[in-house]
Amino acid sequence: MSLNAQTRWHTFQSQEEINQAALNRILAAADAAIAKHGSFLIVLAGGSTPKAVYQLLAKADADWSKWHVYHNDDRCLPVDHVERNSKMARDAWLSHVAIPESQIHDIPAELGNVAGALAYSEILKGVRTFDLVILGLGEDGHTASLFPGQAVDNSADAVPVFNSPKPPADRITISQKRLNDTHEVMFLVTGAGKQEAVDNWRKGVAIPATLIQSPNGVDVYCFGVVLS
């Protein structure tokens, strides 16, 4: 796959700088969506960099009543497990602001990957195009729970993942097709461990992250990697 001309790369000089830029981008996207649609539909990523941004959002001033929150993936673990993306987002941010509970849509991964994916597809049914999808990048080039060497399943808006190369083996992910149905995409990529994946991406190697191609392109926010 050739390098998408609509992949825009942004580099930052510190963790604080990338966190602040991501915060500003999210709040600007929210303002624009609320002005246009009366609501803001955001899809969250797991991971340490998003967590730091969510902690900033917890202190931000926003029209929380208009926010609708989804997750790009989650692990099939108990609801209160420390490695659940939904628990991280609630602890860092969502439990501290006035987003109505009915507008926070956790993936019911505790049901197992098949039943949970079916349930989340029902939740996503009829939901308009997302406003902003936040994604991370794994050292192997994966994003959400779209992993190298695994078939791309676009049979539903949310799909089960089996045999994940990272534990736990069972996961649920929003499908590539549905993640691409968004106005904006922001990848948060930090740490030297991501260098090889970034190099491959920029060379046009078909890593899973390159599956995400929204109509308005993709913005990749980077800290700790060199863009050659």
* pLDDT, tens digit only, all 228 positions of the chain: 334 459 999 999 999 999 999 999 999 999 999 999 999 999 999 999 999 999 999 999 999 999 999 999 999 999 999 999 999 999 999 999 999 999 999 999 999 999 999 999 999 999 999 999 999 999 999 999 999 999 999 999 999 999 999 999 999 999 999 999 999 999 999 999 999 999 999 999 999 999 999 999 999 999 999 998
| pLDDT score, position 228 | 84
Structural domains for the chain: 7-223 (3.40.50.1360)
Residue 73 and residue 153 in contact, taking contact as beta carbons nearer than 8 Å: no
What is the 8-class DSSP label of residue 13?
A: S
Residues for the chain: how many in total?
A: 228
Amino acid found at 204: G
Cα 57 from chain centroid (whole Å): 15
Angle between helices 15-37 and 48-57 (to 10 degrees): 60
Q: Do the bridges between strand 182-190 and strand 218-223 make them parallel or antiparallel, or are there none, so unpaired?
A: parallel
Residues sharing a CB contact under 8 Å with residue 58, sequence separation 6 or more, in sequence order: 92, 93, 96, 97
pLDDT at residue 5, rounded to an integer? 54
- For 126-187, the DSSP string reads T---EEEEEEE--TTS-BTTB-TTS----SSSEEEE-S-SSSSS-EEEE-HHHHTSEEEEEE
